[in-house]
Amino acid sequence: MKKFFWVLILTLIWLPSVQADLTIEITEGVEGALPIAIVPFGWQGAGRPPVDVSAVINADLQRSGRFKTIPQADMLSRPTTAEEIQFKDWRALDVENLVVGQVRPQGTGGYEIRFQLFDVYKGEQLTGYTIPTTAPNLRATAHRIADLIYEKLLGIPGAFATRVAYITSVKQDDGTQRIDLNIADADGYNPETIVSSTEPLMSPAWSPDGRKLAYVSFEEGKSAIYVQEAYTGRRQKVTSFKGINGAPAWSPDGRKLAMALSKDGNPDIFVFDLGTKKLKPLTRHYAIDTEPAWSPDGKSLVFTSDRGGKPQIYRVSAYGGPAKRVTFQNSYNARASFSPDGKLLALVTREDGSYKIAVQDLDSGIMQVLSQGSLDESPSFAPNGSMIIYASKAGYRGVLAAVSVDGRVRQRLALQEGDVREPVWSPFKK
């Protein structure tokens, strides 16, 4: 099989208000990517548009690995409306699909984006919308357009208009570490810090509605689990028992948090009802039980346990009962999470002394290793199940990386400064 290897620096931004600028590189592409042309959108305002909308759409589709976008330099014409399109110009380039559009100012601070997607060979429009938006939302609207194009052509929803939460650690001038919990767009833009601490922060988890994050903070000198509204900053301390308060995981209905607590002597899985504030033990074993994750139907959970000597993944009913081991390949398997369709588990596995990201098919039990690092961890599925974002190491720094679930497309999201880790992909916006 012939593979294309290429490195593309797609984006490089500088935001003076935040220290986090992300570089996204596609480190490995895939043969069979769909050729598509995103023609630069027309601009009907004064000066330059605040955001190059077509460039954002282009970068999203390219980054997914499922599309091969045509460089502007190769385009024979630059239509911005349906009337201006000469389909033969695009057939000559072997382009199968074409996107044209325009951005125009609308009222004070408003914009209107119009776009149309065409099948070049049939010469037909496949979809088209006119979307009103505002200056701060121009990038978000561009991601939504990329989602619409992705879904129209591939039949599954795009996950570009989503966000990623992650932890950064930056060494300060006085030698201490500053640990931040951040949220950024899925392409790394618009990073915002929502919690900042000199003590460790870990294990962020999105609520199913994408509005809250649960996480672990050591700000009081020991671990405690907090739930914070991502966009208001309001937060509450959920548990701060003696010992470990760790690994919060939201139930699919958003009403409960599964977690690991060692208040009774060693870490076991508990389920905390956020409404009634009642805590229910789910596992009880002298081994380490941690890293719970709910199945999408909410009927069962997987968790990591070393009850067999080494960490392996076990599955237990959400109503309790015996746990059944589900991983048997390799001597170390941990931090499993379900794919959105519930068919796969993403997990960390140790192979030849290296820690890598793998997926295991729950029906067949077959495991496929997807990543190539030696210290990879924290896999998190995109909400459409197409990609897994995870933490990796590049030299002395932690970086974020993503891989398609078939292992054929890889990309790296590198922060310019400090250590980046524990990425978690948000659910779809609701």
Partner 1 sequence: MNRMLTLWVSLTLSVLLLAGCSSTPSGDRQAGADVSEQSTGAGGQDGSGASTSAASEGAAWTGDPLENPNSLLATRVIYFDFDQSTVRADYLDVISAHADYLAANPQMVVRLEGHADERGTREYNLGLGENRANAVRSLMMAQGVADNQLVVVSYGEERAAAFEHNEEAWALNRRVELVY
Interface positions with partner 1 (CB under 8 A)? 200, 202-203, 218, 221-223, 243-244, 246-247, 260, 262, 266-267, 288, 290-291, 304, 306, 311, 332, 334-335, 348, 350, 355, 374-375, 377-378, 393, 396, 422
Q: Which is nearer to partner 1, 162 or 223 (CB)?
A: 223
Beta bridge partners of 359: 346, 368
Residue 51 or 259 having the CB closest to partner 1:
259
* Of residues 146 and 403, the one with the C-beta less far from partner 1: 403
Handedness of CA 372, 177, 304, 282 (dihedral sign): negative
Q: What is the C-alpha radius of gyration for the chain, rounded to an integer number of angstroms?
A: 23
Nearest CB to partner 1, comparing residues 146 and 424: 424
Three-state secondary-structure class, residue 356: strand
Min dist. Cβ of residue 196 to partner 1 (A): 15
Is residue 73 classed as helix, strand or coil in its secondary structure? helix
Q: Are 340 and 385 in contact (CB under 8 A)?
A: yes
Smaller CB separation from partner 1, 349 or 386? 349
Residue 429: burial class (beta carbons within 10 Å; 0-12, 13-18, 19+)? middle
Q: How far is the CB of 47 from partner 1 (least distance, A)?
A: 47
87 CB-near residues (< 8 Å, 6+ apart): 98, 118, 120, 121, 123
**Please, are residues 399 and 410 in contact by the beta-carbon 8 Å criterion?**
no
At residue 139, what is the residue type? R
- Least CB distance to partner 1 at residue 306 (A): 8
Least distance from partner 1 to the Cβ atom of residue 349, Å: 11
Minimum distance, C-beta of residue 332 to partner 1, in the bound complex (Å): 7
148-151, Cβ contacts within 8 angstroms, sequence gap of 24 or more: 148/117, 149/36, 149/57, 149/61, 149/97, 149/99, 149/117, 150/60, 150/61, 150/64, 150/66
Helix (H, G, I), strand (E, B) or coil at 63: helix
CB of 95 to partner 1, least distance (A): 44
Shorter beta-carbon distance to partner 1: residue 180 or 185: 180
Reference 187, options 157, 168, 161, 167; nearest CA is 161
**Nearest to partner 1 of 43, 332 (CB atom):** 332
The two beta strands, 377-381 and 163-171, are unpaired
Q: How far is the CB of 199 from partner 1 (least distance, A)?
A: 9
Strands 67-69 and 34-38: parallel
Nearer to partner 1, 200 or 340 (CB): 200
DSSP structural state of residue 4: -
CB nearer to partner 1: pick between 200 and 252: 200
Please state the closest distance from residue 265 (CB atom) to partner 1, in A: 8
Task: Compare residues 348 and 409 and give the one whose CB is closer to partner 1.
Answer: 348
Nearest approach in angstroms of CB 27 to partner 1 is: 20
Dihedral sign for Cα 94, 97, 98, 99, please: negative
Q: How far is CA 336 from CA 295, 365, 366, 377, in A?
A: 11, 14, 14, 10
* Residue 282 CB, nearest approach to partner 1 (Å): 15
Nearest-5° angle of CA 144, CA 402, CA 57?
A: 25
